[in-house]
Structure 1
Amino acid sequence: MPAEPTPTTLSPEPGTASKTSFPLDVRFPVYSIAFLDDHRVVLAGGGGSSRTGVKNRLSMYSVDVKKRQISLIDEHELSKEEDAPMTIAVHHKSKAIVAGINSSAAQLEKGVNENVRVFSYTDDKITYEKRRQTITSTDPDHYQKVTAFARIGSSPALAVGTTNSQLSLLDFPDLDDLFPTLNYDGEEIYDADFDDESDMLVGTSSNKLCVWSTRPRGKDVEADALQVIERPILKKELACTFRAAKFGRGPTASNLYTVVNASPAATSGPRSRRPPAGSKKAFVSLWDTRAWKLLKTRTVSQKPVTAFDVSDDGTLLAYGSSDLSVGILDAVTLRPILTVLHAHDFPVTSLKFNPSASVLVSGSADNSIRVIEVPSASQRGGSSATYAVLMTLLVLLVAILIQQTFGDDLLAAARQAL
């Protein structure tokens, strides 16, 4: 089946856009998203090695929110014999894109799976550069699920996590091991992220979060686990699993944000009952990494979260849920800022803020993306600073009422208490 040509300009169908967002049919399953700058985004995905006629690709688009459209700049077509790119990450200083792509079935049979692929980019072109294998398994069901760059350094560290329980730390661009591969006891790696100073790396599996020191480094140096956070137990009838963990940025750099999905625990026997409605929930938690103390938790969805991101300025969190919604939270208070209830027809596979956090793009295997205009700081309202002002005004108002009602003596006592 011949591949369908890629449209050069995409606009939403009439009646599908809302005031804050618009959906676009990109004609291929989107598995990962990365911004090159505020107005250029790369969508990664495709039909894999199946004979669907859907090309595997890295597609660079310009995003015009005012016109509500995206325009194709370059489409880098990948081998139809290999898997679709399942994850990508961008290093802006070196203008590099790293993708996770499984080798062909023929190569897998030979014990070869060169899953780490490196590309360079210019203003209008994506070019293949090199590849390397980190996955020891050649099972086609195992693939590179996580790719993350350290945030500082002209030669940064690169974290690669796979579904066969391996978390690798590589230098870039040489792709040499910085320390031996970490193993998560057979658990799939769901997420990985570096802190602002690139001194810590958090790796997420379903049952635990491990925070690793990235220094010292060396092929024979064992990584040091600074902190291990076991999955929480909320109620005995609920099974909780981690889905994501990311450090804050800038003003929230001392924070760690975790996503936990809860579902009914498996039961059997004559007394087993159907799980009650709403028993599948997703939580976002905020941790203080200086004391490794849990500060607050918010329920964000009645179904599992499937994707999570933190804005580059550290002020916003975004999540995609299997209830097909996309939400944005304040990173300090975890207060909801914006929710798109039916963002896609299938669950979100990836979402990403642009560098200025003015746009959020989500993608899905339903061949669609959604472009969301992020409310500006003045439009969001209710920030932590605003809360502080409101609380001050409330205290003053209470003081005035006390003075009018109970007299000066009680007011003086109230002032001393404050």
Structure 2
Amino acid sequence: MAPTRRPNDGLLARVNFPLYAVEMLTSRHVLVAGGGGSSKTGVANGFEIYEIYHNGSRFVAEEVIRHETGPSVVMNFAVKNDGRRSFIVAGQEAHCQLYYVNPRVVSMTDGEEAGEKKTTGRTVRLSENGIRRRHNSVNNPSGVEEVKANGVAGDHNDVNANLKRIEFDIKPGDSIQTDFLTNEPIQRVVRISPDGKLMATGGTDGYIRIWSFPKMGKSSEIEAHSKELDDIDFSPDSKHLVSIAKDGQGIVWDVKSQQKLFQLSWNPPDGAKYLFKRCRYAVSEGKQNKSRLFTISNPLGKVGKQRGYLQQWNCEDGRLINCVGIDESLSSMTVRDDGRFIAVGTMFTGSVSIYIAFSLQRVLHIPNAHSMFVTGLVFLPITNQEGPPISSSSEAAVLSISVDNRVCIHSLQYRHTLPAWVAIVLIIVILFLAFMLCSYLGI
């Protein structure tokens, strides 16, 4: 049985708008996005950036910056770093909006900083235009975090530390229309290729459009599906692209020729009709030149806690390799950057589970992590090149978001296994004792 949540895992932050998308901006900064839409409900639309660190006993998140996007809700986005700055491409109705994210190191002296203002019980930092930068936390009641010169969170008790931290300036760039359905066009998904040269978008008109990046000049268009797309993803080598849609098809494409390579096909139980919900490529663990493909599927037209499936596919021919059933419909999926773990979120109970990628064995289950369906998941990275990963006692940690406005974290503790030599010794001892017992009984 998979272990359940650690008592001190759970809520990291609460945002005052529904959340639909989440990605890691750097190795220790997470970006979440969403909003209330264009209706005049008073619910904002935009992004929030949080810095995450481990204080020795638990994960803590500190707000860094909030950027509002006016009347346009952010339903999906992708992030790419070029070493100097980050790019965000965000789906806002039928358009894809480019944002430039420029990091800057801010120094503090004796607790003072330009633009800092004192309020009751906390310190709030403001940029030149008055944007709120950082909240206080339970573990940091002053609201001031000490960060070493490289931007990594330092010891809060080290009064001699050089006080520096990373902040971000978000500036909008070009906006392009990516979906052209006659009635209410909407971009449903956007991905940036791992090599950073291409961007792919999909929406309600069923087309995949591939754009150059970061200039976002259209290079090709694929009439991929008869109904709206639900998800797309690039392979780790940027040569292939997988797409799934509400027409029930999962198709792998050659990016260069835009030709269909093969279609994902399986025989669902009891002849039921299933639709793919999410798709993700992952590197094969320890084999950077090979990849694996994962999907989640839900039954069509069924209401209630119907059985969903997590699936692994052969990337050469689209053959189903492994498949595990899950006791309710699934809403989201992510794969860790080293390809070792998969996390899935559920539709009805808001639960989160972590699986071993190669075997699809569940190793952690967090029931009712959210009060509503899980809209997004992302693992804390371990191979990120934009900075050192967050140090903790966890083997893996995944962030989850939902339309319940909450950002949560769930960590898998290191699993204790016996060394091979200990197992061999135990087997020998057990055999010896069995032999002695048999001799004593005269068997």
Shorter-chain TM-score tier: 0.7 to 0.9
Instruction: Assess if the C-alpha contact under 8 Å between 1:328 and 1:337 holds in 2.
Output: yes
The question of 1:87 aligning with 2:87 is answered no
Mapped to 2, the partners of 1:56 and 1:264 lie a distance apart of: 31
Match of 1:339 among 355, 365, 370: 365
Q: Secondary structure at the match of 1:360?
A: strand
* 1:362 corresponds to: 400
* 2:34 corresponds to: 45
CA deviations on 1:40-97 (whole Å, 9 max, x unpaired) are 11111111101111111111111234364322212111122xx300001101225101
* 1:134 corresponds to: 178
Instruction: Assess if the C-alpha contact under 8 Å between 1:231 and 1:240 holds in 2.
Output: no
| TM-score of the superposed pair, with normalisation by structure 2 | 0.71
* 1:169 corresponds to: 210
Q: Which structure would you say has the larger RCO, counting Cα contacts within 8 Å and 6 or more residues apart?
A: 2
Of 225-234 and 191-200, deviating more is 225-234
Match of 1:117 among 91, 97, 100: 97
Show the 5 A alignment for 1:13-28: 18-22=7-11, 24-28=13-17
Tell me which protein shows more helix as a share of its residues: 1
Show the 5 A alignment for 1:280-359: 280-299=306-325, 301-322=326-347, 323-356=349-382, 358-359=396-397
User: Which structure 1 segments of 5+ residues have no match?
Assistant: 1-15, 103-112, 217-222, 266-274, 406-418
Show the 5 A alignment for 1:18-417: 18-22=7-11, 24-66=13-55, 68-80=59-71, 83-93=72-82, 95-102=86-93, 113=94, 115-123=95-103, 124-137=168-181, 139-140=183-184, 142-153=185-196, 156-186=197-227, 188-206=228-246, 207-216=248-257, 223-230=258-265, 232-236=267-271, 238-251=272-285, 253-262=290-299, 280-299=306-325, 301-322=326-347, 323-356=349-382, 358-375=396-413, 379-380=414-415
1:366 Cα deviation from its structure 2 partner: 1.4
Matched letter for residue 233 of structure 1: P
* 1:13 corresponds to: none
The runs of at least 4 aligned residues of structure 1 exceeding 6 Å deviation read: 394-401
Mapped to 2, the partners of 1:394 and 1:194 lie a distance apart of: 47
Tell me which protein shows more strand as a share of its residues: 2
1:343 Cα deviation from its structure 2 partner: 1.0
1:17 Cα deviation from its structure 2 partner: 8.4
| TM-score of the superposed pair, with normalisation by structure 1 | 0.75
Mapped to 2, the partners of 1:37 and 1:359 lie a distance apart of: 15
